[in-house]
Structure 1
Amino acid sequence: MVDSIPNPVAIGEVRIGKGRPLALIAGPCVMEPNDLTMRIAVRLREICGRLGVPLIFKASYDKANRTSVSSYRGPGLAGGMEVFRRVKAETGLPVTTDVHETQQAAPIAEVVDLLQVPAFLARQTDLLEAVAATGRPVNVKKGQFMAPWDMANVVTKLIAFGAAGAILTERGTTFGYGRLVNDFRAIPQMQETGAPVVFDATHSVQLPGAGAGGTTTAGQREMIPTLARAAVAAGCDALFVEVHPDPDRALSDGPNSLRLDDLEPLLAVCLRIREAVGG
């Protein structure tokens, strides 16, 4: 265990970690036009309010790792921060988003409550230093190429750089081409670092890449509930779920996004599992 790690971690009014209720990080993959992002935020607040689930709203302002050069990426940094300001003002929810480059960290931290480091960038020391230096808590997704115990080095970096808190997210491990698998031992193994652990139930069902000559990434949306239930049984501190009212029409990651109408019944089951295992 790394010394001096806050656990639970405070994100606005939400606390994730030891002795706290199962929390949810959720929202659309990318901010979409026509006020959709705001409508999803309001609906998520209503669902989590009914169930008593602490919620952090998630959306990406720029999907920097899209498969195709022609794919929709989002409104950009300035536009995205305006959306987050509105979400916070109208819903009161804390918000989180990805940071892809070191120079993005400071302006994002002026608005966003939890900074997220994408899995592909989990080992980038300069990026970890930049997000830690903002004084915000940081959530790092375990690289698809990394062992759970290797994330202890990530936590050590964040603490050394002065992060307000460290959270780790499990989101699957590369297995050959175009496949991710989940080893649920990763949840308690990463918790041994002292950091709370989130399970990403939607990116874990992604089928990375696009196949020969393809331009979009596939996914197995129908497996999201199975993995979410298993992760809660394994003791995760929070779930990460990307949602959309109509995933087949989503502008990013639709094949591995949960239909918004399916979220409440899934959370209800997960809360019963949490109670049964004594979480």
Structure 2
Amino acid sequence: MNEVTLQNYRIGDGNPLAVIAGPCIIESLDLCREVAAEASAVCRDLGLSYIFKASFDKANRSSGSSFRGKGLEAGLEVLAAIKAEFGVPVLTDIHESWQAAPVAEVVDVLQIPAFLCRQTDLLLAAAATGRVINVKKGQFLAPWDMKNIVDKVVGAGDSNLLLTERGASFGYNTLVVDMKSLPVMRSLGYPVIFDATHSVQQPGGLGTSSGGQREFIPHLLRAAVAAGVDGLFIEAHPDPEHALSDAATMLHLKDLRGLLEQAVAIDQIVKPALRAAG
């Protein structure tokens, strides 16, 4: 497997879990500081690689009247502040090709949203920056279809690639996670991340916003770690019920430590077994 190096982190190829965690959207610098402080402390204590994430814009909100974020300039200022204060890599999404270059001047990981994962120009623009790219598998794709996306990015000269599973469409307003998708995507040769919070989303389930089943986050996360993933994506918030985006699916920040302790315990059993199996 191609190992991805990010600052002093090594992701994939049997290394400890990487954790991408933060609020769904940049509501304020204070919120981002609170989440980054807790998440970075937990990951440091558990020996895990930590990457802070938050979106400067959510271009795919269910309703046109929903809060989209702080915007590019103000959002990048917040991300730069978090990076400087906590000394951790930062991740954010891009939605249009022109955003890749200016965002890459600040962030360490460019994320391609699931709905946009097949947008060739967006992928090529991200690859041109040379940054690590995290591509979320579209809800409409089979896991083996990700090979075409890998070929686009790697063919453009960027092999610093992460692939993220976030559930597949299953009827109306429902997602389901096929755990077989995790080893299938790992067979493509790049680290695989499991998005434990978007996987419990019920897209558009509340009419003008998405619903979700937060109570199932721990179950899916434990199963994914047991399947041998290389990292976890977790949106967390100190008061998710009143968050401005993804209120139904974000993890309570206070629950992050306990859940990651469980993940580490499982990972420490699974990784040696996978190495022994070859």
TM-score (norm 1): 0.95
Tell me if 1:88 matches 2:83: yes
Residues 65-99 of structure 1: CA deviation (Å, up to 9, x unaligned): 11111111111000111011111110000000101
Summarize the alignment of residues 199-218 of structure 1 with structure 2, pairs less than 5 Å apart.
199-211=194-206, 214-218=207-211
Partner residue in 2 for 1:71: 66
Q: Which runs of 5+ in 2 are unaligned?
A: 273-278
Query: For residue 250 of structure 1, what is the amino acid of its counterpart?
Result: A
Partner residue in 1 for 2:252: 259
Counterpart contact for 1:139–1:169, Cα < 8 Å = yes
Q: Which runs of 4+ in 1 moved over 2 A?
A: none
Partner residue in 2 for 1:58: 53
Summarize the alignment of residues 8-23 of structure 1 with structure 2, pairs less than 5 Å apart.
8-23=3-18
Residues 115-147 of structure 1: CA deviation (Å, up to 9, x unaligned): 100000111111100000011111100010000
How far is 1:163 from its partner?
Answer: 1.4
Identity of aligned residues (%): 57
Tell me if 1:239 matches 2:216: no
- Give the whole-Å Cα distance in 1 for the aligned partners of 2:250 and 2:242: 11
How far is 1:173 from its partner?
Answer: 0.4
Tell me if 1:132 matches 2:127: yes
- Give the whole-Å Cα distance in 2 for the aligned partners of 1:67 and 1:15: 36
Seen in structure 2, the aligned counterparts of structure 1 residues 76 and 156 have a Cα distance that, compared at 3 Å, is same
How far is 1:37 from its partner?
Answer: 1.1
Partner residue in 2 for 1:191: 186
Partner residue in 2 for 1:3: none
Seen in structure 2, the aligned counterparts of structure 1 residues 34 and 128 have a Cα distance that, compared at 3 Å, is closer
Partner residue in 2 for 1:220: 213
Tell me if 1:176 matches 2:166: no
Secondary structure at 1:198 match in 2: strand
Partner residue in 2 for 1:30: 25
How far is 1:207 from its partner?
Answer: 0.2
How far is 1:264 from its partner?
Answer: 0.4
- Give the whole-Å Cα distance in 2 for the aligned partners of 1:80 and 1:15: 27
RMSD of aligned alpha carbons: 1.1
- Give the whole-Å Cα distance in 2 for the aligned partners of 1:278 and 1:41: 27
Query: For residue 251 of structure 1, what is the amino acid of its counterpart?
Result: L
Tell me if 1:115 matches 2:96: no
Query: For residue 218 of structure 1, what is the amino acid of its counterpart?
Result: G
Counterpart contact for 2:26–2:75, Cα < 8 Å = yes
Tell me if 1:148 matches 2:146: no
- Give the whole-Å Cα distance in 2 for the aligned partners of 1:152 and 1:233: 23
Counterpart contact for 1:7–1:16, Cα < 8 Å = no
Counterpart contact for 1:14–1:56, Cα < 8 Å = no
Counterpart contact for 2:228–2:271, Cα < 8 Å = no
Counterpart contact for 1:12–1:94, Cα < 8 Å = yes
TM-score (norm 2): 0.96
How far is 1:164 from its partner?
Answer: 4.3
Secondary structure at 2:241 match in 1: helix
